[in-house]
Amino acid sequence: MKILIVGSGGREHAIAWKVAQSPKAEKIYCAPGNAGIAEYAECVPIGAMEFDKLAAFAEEKQIDLTIIGMDDPLVGGIVDVFEEKGLRVFGPRKNAAILEGSKAFSKDLMKKYNIPTAAYETFTDPQAALEYLETAKFPIVLKADGLALGKGVLICETKEMAVDGVRQIMQDRKFGTAGDKMVIEEFMTGREVSVLSFVDGKIVKTMASAQDHKRAKDGDQGLNTGGMGNFSPTPFYTDEIDAFCQKNIFQPTVDAMAAEGRPFVGVIFFGLMLTEDGPKVLEYNARFGDPEAQVVLPRMKNDMIEVCEACIDGKLDEIDLQFVDDPCVCVVLASDGYPVSYEKGFPIRGLENFKDKDGYYVFHAGSAFNDKGEIVTNGGRVLGVTALGKDLKEARANAYKAVDWVDFDNKYYRHDIGKAIDEA
């Protein structure tokens, strides 16, 4: 089979690596890809939002399956474009990707179908939002309604911070049109857990749990990022909690989307908060998480192509989804200054140290080739250094050992990824 992957980050590198293991994969393309993905796929200089060019390429190369990694093209309707041309594509249609594309939509859906989540209000007028804050309880959470690269959520400790947050989102347009509408919701406390799942429109099969680290600095300080590292599984996601979520969150969400005439096919990322009142939904994403994919896919035993095709064909019930027992930890190496401002173009040294090292992986999030053919930094998040271990502590030790194998100017990373393991 000829496979096309759409995207350019660590998530897409992990997908390409996993797809390459399938005996069904004859040729892999990635658009636009990155320097790491080039090891497994032929990178094509077409942007992820150039739907017509991507579809034309898929027709020209007779692509058998396209896997969409990124949120922007999914929310923009790339799956609809491909399907209209008779192309097989893995991911939700535009009317289902709204589950991630609009936080107001997803909150209203949860309210309508009694899926546990935080109390909230939605605003399109900044003045109305400011008036609401006068009687609100703090801390409080502000969310830009649309896509904001994982950074459109502000946790505000005080009214002053919240007022400033409304200004940033709705008046200064910090997140562009994503701030046309805003959700203000109660602040939930507890442990965050990520559960990725495959969905075929009717049934849902969950992957191994993971726990993310969103803040830029150690001790969960600093700004929100796209993710600075994570581990899988999380010991805090017990069998009892899983049973509750399967019954009250996962399947009800899939059923709700079908009932709304928006059947979801692809990956739903359930962002959960384990509160004192039980698990509640923090957010939905309509694709693999990044860097969650980097710790979940190395643990997945199944053939990636077979699972994607089963979802497309409505035959997910025929898949026995399995994961290895060995836990996995990913530490993101970023450019110092991320997520605000940073330099790029620095040569990356030591990548060869990962060759033939079983259980150690380096997934490229932001890399490129320079005119000398060197692999250089090309983003805020640069690499996801990932390792397996016989238990979570060993996996974490292995990941941090591997962090020292690779280097670049401006290298920055958190030193406490997986520290919560010690509290389990």
Task: Give, for all 424 residues of the chain, the pLDDT tens digit.
Answer: 999 999 999 999 999 999 999 999 999 999 999 999 999 999 999 999 999 999 999 999 999 999 999 999 999 999 999 999 999 999 999 999 999 999 999 999 999 999 999 999 999 999 999 999 998 999 999 999 988 876 788 889 999 999 999 999 999 998 999 889 999 999 999 999 999 999 999 999 999 999 999 999 999 999 888 899 999 999 999 999 999 999 999 999 999 999 999 999 999 999 999 999 999 999 999 999 999 999 999 999 999 999 999 999 999 999 999 999 999 999 999 999 999 999 999 999 999 999 999 999 999 999 999 999 999 999 999 999 999 999 999 999 999 999 999 999 999 999 999 987 776 5
Whether 379 contacts 368, CB under 8 Å: no
Tokens standing for residue 220: 């969960």
Whether 32 contacts 48, CB under 8 Å: yes
Helix (H, G, I), strand (E, B) or coil at 93: coil
Classify domain 2-99 at the CATH class level. Answer: alpha beta
CB atoms within 10 A of CB 358: 6
Please tell me the distance from the alpha carbon of residue 208 to that of residue 234, in angstroms, as a whole number: 9
Cis-peptide into 233, omega within 30 deg: yes
N residues, the chain: 424
| Domain boundaries, given as residue ranges, for the chain | 2-99, 119-186, 191-318, 328-423
- What's residue 85's pLDDT? 97
191-318: in CATH 3.30.470.20: yes
- What's residue 424's pLDDT? 59
Which CATH code is given to the segment(s) 328-423?
3.90.600.10
Tell if the pTM clears 0.85, that is, is over it. Answer: yes
119-186: in CATH 3.30.1490.20: yes
